[in-house]
Each structure stands twice: as C-alpha cells, then as structure tokens.
Amino acid sequence: KAGVTQTPRYLIKTRGQQVTLSCSPISGHRSVSWYQQTPGQGLQFLFEYFSETQRNKGNFPGRFSGRQFSNSRSEMNVSTLELGDSALYLCASSGGFETEAFFGQGTRLTVV
Amino acid sequence: GQQLNQSPQSMFIQEGEDVSMNCTSSSIFNTWLWYKQDPGEGPVLLIALYKAGELTSNGRLTAQFGITRKDSFLNISASIPSDVGIYFCAGLAGNNRKLIWGLGTSLAVNP
C-alpha cells in the first residue's frame, strides 16, 4: 500500500511569487492535514480537509489556502511568498475517523 | 497556537543507554501519539495511546498514557545509532480533530 506522496520534494521561489504544493494521501484515506515546520517551531498546523471540505484551520494568514479533490488528493497554495515562508511543508493523511496521522516526506520550500 | 510541553529539548547519550522523554499538558487528552522524524523526512508514527494508564511497546520503545491524561512518556531502551532523530509527541483532546504537538526532543547517540 503506497504511503503519502508529496510533490515536489524541493522548490525554490522568489519573494512575491506564488506556489502550489501537492499531496496524495494513502489510498482510502479521506482526511488530509497540512503543516509548516521550521527549526525550533515544531509542526505548525495549517488546515485539514475531509471529503473536500475544510474541517479545521490553524492561525495562518489568508495567503495560505488549500483544497481537496474528490479523489482526496489535496493542494496547498501560498500566494505573495515571503522569506519567512521558507520551511518544510508536511502533509498527513488519516482515515478520517481515526486519530493516527501518516506523513509524507514533505516539500522543502525556499524563498529567496 | 497551543503546544505541548515536551522535554528534554535535546539529549546526547552513549550507545546502549536508555532514554526517557515526556510531554505534559494543562488540558486533558484522549489520545497521545509519538513520532520520530529523521532529517529531511516526514515524521513516522511510533506508538499510539488511547486509554489512560495504557502502556504500549514497539520493539525497544515503550510509551505510557499518563493516569491524569495530561501527560505521556516515551522510553527507548538500549539505544543504537539509528535512534538518532527528533521525537515528537502529539495529543488529541475531546472532539477536536486537530492534533496538538510538542516541539520535539532531539536525540543524538554516540557510538
């Protein structure tokens, strides 16, 4: 059974640009959560999608948005990139009614 | 946002030693999860705990769900070099499906 797949693995963008990250959850999982990880800050929750609806949201500005498709794949978009957006972005999937979350390898975003 | 108090922040030990780390919260949790993250990778689930007082093992790892439901412990016995990484605790309270995370314990093992 394939795990959580995130693409791309690495990305370099310029300040002011926008970026879209992709996450394919484990087959059969309907919940996808996104996290931002920076050194010393741990995992900061961005949002969770379940059956194409945003179910939970963290405390990030509106520049961060996401969506989920009918096949449970999810995308995360960051507009007007800032230097401080440089981080490892992690996606986690779960069955939706369990609490165990399984992570992808992450996308390392560098904003220059 | 809300975070768990995870300690210690970092540990440097000799191979073969036992390791203990813990997470505490001011709130009651229904679920505790322990993850390990290798550099440049996503966290990997090690142990899940669902009941107060529960003690669960996964190889050399043992985790406990505190009786008060406000804390959890992870022990690693006879550490080996591949135990190196960052260990995270995460908790879930009530009906809120948002996991609350600790800041991690960075473990270094000297061969």
Predicted local distance difference test score (pLDDT) of residue B29: 92
**Is B95 a residue whose pLDDT tops 70?**
no
Q: Indicate the length of chain B as a whole number.
A: 111
**Which residues of B fall below an 8 Å CB-CB distance to A?**
1, 3, 31, 33, 35, 40-45, 48, 50, 88, 90, 92, 96-99, 101-104
Low-confidence ranges of chain A (pLDDT < 70): 1, 96-99
Residues of chain A contacting residue B33, judged by C-beta atoms under 8 Å apart = 99-101
pLDDT at B52: 95
* pLDDT of B15 over the 80 cut: yes
Return the pLDDT at A13.
Answer: 98
- Contact yes or no for A34/A66 (Cβ under 8 A): yes
pLDDT of residue B76: 98
Share of chain A above pLDDT 70, in %: 96
Minimal-distance CA residue of chain A relative to B106:
A40
Task: State the best of B4, B10, B99, B103 to mutate against chain A, taking most chain A CBs within 10 Å.
Answer: B99
pLDDT for res B92: 87
Torsion of CA B50, B52, B53, B54, to 10 degrees: -10
Q: What is the Cα–Cα distance from B77 to B20, expressed in whole angstroms?
A: 9
List CB contacts (< 8 A) between A40 and chain B: 103
What mean pLDDT, rounded, does chain B reach? Answer: 93
Q: Name every chain B residue with its beta carbon within 8 A of the beta carbon of A42.
A: 3, 88, 101-104
Name the pLDDT band for B40 (thresholds 50, 70, 90): confident
**pLDDT recorded at residue B1:** 58
In this prediction, residue B65 carries a pLDDT of 97
Which one-letter amino acid corresponds to residue A69? F
CA distance A110 to A73: 23
- The whole-number pLDDT of residue A97 equals 59
B98:A48 CB<8 A = yes
Q: How far is B102 from chain A (nearest CA, A)?
A: 7
**B35 vs A39, residue with greater confidence:** B35
Determine contact, residues A69/A52, Cβ cutoff 8 Å. yes
Mean pLDDT to the nearest integer, B60-84: 96
Residue of A4, A40, A99 with shortest CB distance to B31: A99
